[in-house]
Structures are given as C-alpha cells and as structure tokens.
C-alpha cells in the first residue's frame, strides 16, 4: 500500500453535523440564543445556508443538537460507585456543563427537547436509582425530584429565573430589614445575597439524604 503524497486532506473544513453544532455553540456563547439563525451560522462556516440542511433539519433540530452537545459533556459516574456518590457526580457534572455555557444552558433547562435528546438525562438519573433497588415507580419520583432541583437551581444561577442578587444589594437589604415581618427581618442579611454554590451544595445534600436507600 502506498502512502498518498501531496496536500493533506482538509478534514477540519468538511461540513458535518458535529462541526455545525460546535460552531452553533460558539455563536451562542458569543452572542446568545437570539443571535442564532441558519443564515448567520452558514456565514460563519463559509458555506451556503442550504448546505446546512443536509446535516440538520432546521433551527429546532440545530438547537436540539446543541443541547445534545451540552449533555454529552457530563462525565459518566465511576463504575461500581454507591448511589450517593453517583448522584452527586451526576449533579455536579450537570451543573458544570450548564455553567460552562450559560447562554446555551436554557436549551436544556427550559426548552422542550426532541425525545431522544431529552431521554439522556432521564437515563442517567433513573439507572442508578433502579440499580440501588428502587422499584420503578419510586425511581420515577426520585428522578423527577432530582431534575426539578437541578433545573430550578440552575435556572436561577444562569439568570433565567428571578433571584436575589448574587453579590449583595444594599437596597434589597434595606427593604427586607424594613419589611416589618419578623422572620424576614431576622434573615435579611442572608436573604439579600445568594451564594449559588453554597445554595447548590445545601440543597443537593438534603436531596441525597432523602434518596438514601
């Protein structure tokens, strides 16, 4: 067999679904979800917009694909680990994936995904619960509790949902302190700020304790 000589193949320039999704994620990171269009993405790739449709069926499929890319970055749990360790690793991996691309995170956190894309996190959480001995009905309850916690917490952290200031707000503190509500006044210094990592760890700890077999 002879080795082909001359100019090396331009594999990096070959249009593919993977390349399109990577560039779409870069576009979202740089300009946000509202900036995404097939035409703009094609311009960035240096191709005709219609050529994208050979690899993705349209903008909805493109956004589902970007969600796939995000979910694929979540590391698999260590084989043979216990339920608590496994669920903790999945939760931290999910959070890291969303915070690594906060402008793209709403694709996973708030958007109805194509069935197969949406089933990836379902399988990741449901599998360890079933392996730990949960019957299917209770495993589904556990799954929904885990996903509700992760989605709700991270929606706040990537600024999709309303929250108190993460860095502190003197005006907010003053309003809380002057509310006349005894419990609110007592907790005002803590209500006025939100340490997202501390909140995540606190909530996750409660959830993992509750899920213990």
Query: Percentage of the chain with pLDDT > 70?
Result: 89
pLDDT at 168 over 60: no
pLDDT at 192 over 80: yes
CATH class (in words) of the domain with range 14-162: mainly alpha
pLDDT at 165 over 80: no
CA 99 to chain centre: 7
Question: What mean pLDDT value characterizes the chain?
Answer: 88
Least-confidence region, from 54-58, 59-63, 73-77, 163-167? 163-167
C-alpha–C-alpha distance, residues 172 and 103, integer Å: 26
Give the mean model confidence (pLDDT) for residues 162-173. 63
Which residues are CB-neighbours of 204 under 8 A, at least 6 positions away? Answer: 88, 91, 149
Give the mean model confidence (pLDDT) for residues 163-174. 66
CA nearest 193: which of 166, 154, 170, 171?
166
Give the mean model confidence (pLDDT) for residues 133-147. 95
Give the mean model confidence (pLDDT) for residues 148-177. 78
pLDDT at 78 over 90: no
């Amino acid at each position: 067999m002879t080795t082909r000589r001359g100019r090396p193949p331009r594999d990096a320039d070959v249009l593919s679904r993977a390349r399109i999704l990577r560039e779409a994620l870069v576009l979202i990171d740089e300009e946000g979800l509202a900036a995404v269009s097939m035409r703009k993405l094609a311009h960035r790739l240096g191709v005709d917009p219609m050529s994208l449709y050979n690899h993705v069926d349209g903008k909805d499929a493109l956004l589902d694909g970007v969600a796939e890319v995000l979910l694929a970055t979540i590391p698999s749990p260590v084989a043979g680990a216990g339920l608590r360790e496994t669920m903790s690793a999945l939760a931290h991996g999910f959070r890291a994936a969303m915070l690594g691309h906060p402008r793209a995170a709403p694709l996973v956190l708030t958007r109805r995904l194509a069935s197969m894309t949406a089933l990836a996190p379902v399988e990741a959480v449901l599998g360890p619960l079933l392996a730990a001995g949960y019957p299917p009905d209770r495993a589904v309850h556990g799954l929904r509790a885990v996903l509700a916690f992760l989605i709700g917490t991270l929606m706040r952290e990537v600024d999709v949902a309303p929250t108190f200031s993460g860095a502190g707000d003197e005006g907010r503190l003053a309003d809380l302190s002057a509310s006349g509500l005894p419990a609110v006044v007592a907790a005002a210094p803590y209500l006025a700020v939100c340490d997202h990592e501390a909140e995540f760890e606190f909530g996750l700890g409660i959830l993992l304790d509750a899920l213990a077999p």
